[in-house]
């Protein structure tokens, strides 16, 4: 596999024939994907289809075993992992969790500027968790924790925002807030890639985004099937 560095004019991130997995077993195979900039890309598929794996490759935290990964130099990435992947025992308050979203911009030991505080406040407000700011993460419900994780991603003001099932298991209000947060990130110009089982999100990617339909288990690539209206469908992984 190779990791190519593209010039500033190249794609934000592009996968070409990427294969990736664990312990020699591919979880996704031969995937081509270039999320359209400033748009929503939805990775749609059942459990085990490889959505989280693909997000990890896009985030640059899982090295493909084959194919090419191109990431624009100096681009910034925010990744919201599945809630179950985050220890609820982390001894951090909600404000601290969201403030961690500013670490890259200010440096982990850098001064917290008024602008950073404002961005954190805005992120807390966007997910309506300002009143929970001083509570420890472990005191929150699962849905409240999910809001805090999405708020942390908003605080990063990243170029590429990767969300793994952000609205799963949360109530209607939180779902609405997360949808609005995604819209706000797109309005800001961010490129958003979201993994989900929910076909409703696929409709939200239309008509300008991209839907990547995935099936489990990963083995071989099926046909790429372009769609009208700018919605690409396909890269599958067929049994």
Ligand X SMILES: Nc1ncnc2c1ncn2[C@@H]1O[C@H](COP(=O)(O)OP(=O)(O)OP(=O)(O)O)[C@@H](O)[C@H]1O
Which residues sit at the interface with ligand X, rule CB under 6 A?
Answer: 22, 27, 45, 47-53, 195
Shortest separation between residue 39's beta carbon and ligand X, angstroms: 21
Shortest separation between residue 195's beta carbon and ligand X, angstroms: 6
Shorter beta-carbon distance to ligand X: residue 126 or 193 = 193
Residues with Cβ within 8 Å of residue 26, at least 6 apart in sequence: 19, 20, 65, 218, 219
Shortest separation between residue 50's beta carbon and ligand X, angstroms: 4
Shorter beta-carbon distance to ligand X: residue 71 or 83 = 83
Distance CA 205, CA 36 (A): 11
Shortest separation between residue 189's beta carbon and ligand X, angstroms: 27
Strand order in the sheet with 13-22: 2-5, 66-71, 13-22, 25-33
Shortest separation between residue 218's beta carbon and ligand X, angstroms: 7
Preceding peptide of 112 cis, ω within 30°: no
Shorter beta-carbon distance to ligand X: residue 48 or 66 = 48
Distance CA 145, CA 239 (A): 35
Shorter beta-carbon distance to ligand X: residue 51 or 157 = 51
Shorter beta-carbon distance to ligand X: residue 22 or 226 = 22
**In sequence order, what are the beta bridge partners of 4?**
70
Distance CA 169, CA 179 (A): 14
């Amino acid at each position: 596999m190779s990791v190519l560095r593209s010039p500033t004019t190249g794609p934000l991130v592009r996968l070409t024939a990427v294969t990736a997995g664990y312990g020699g077993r591919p979880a996704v195979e031969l995937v081509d994907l270039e999320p359209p900039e400033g748009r929503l890309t939805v990775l749609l598929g059942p459990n085990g289809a490889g959505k989280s794996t693909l997000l990890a490759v896009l985030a640059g935290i899982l090295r493909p075993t084959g194919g090419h990964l191109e990431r624009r130099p100096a681009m910034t990435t925010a990744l919201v992992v599945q809630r179950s992947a985050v220890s609820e025992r982390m001894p951090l308050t909600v404000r601290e969790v969201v403030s961690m979203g500013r670490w890259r911009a200010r440096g982990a030991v850098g001064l917290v500027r008024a602008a950073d505080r404002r961005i954190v406040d805005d992120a807390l407000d966007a997910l309506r968790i300002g009143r929970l700011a001083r509570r420890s993460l472990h005191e929150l419900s699962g849905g409240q924790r999910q809001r805090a994780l999405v708020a942390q991603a908003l605080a990063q003001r990243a170029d590429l925002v990767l969300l793994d099932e952000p609205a799963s298991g949360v109530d209607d209000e939180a779902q609405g807030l997360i949808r609005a947060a995604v819209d706000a990130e797109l309005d800001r110009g961010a490129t958003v890639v979201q993994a989900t089982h929910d076909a409703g999100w696929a409709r939200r990617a239309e008509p300008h985004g991209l839907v990547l339909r995935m099936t489990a288990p990963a083995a071989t690539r099926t046909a790429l099937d372009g769609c009208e209206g700018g919605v690409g469908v396909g890269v599958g992984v067929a049994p």
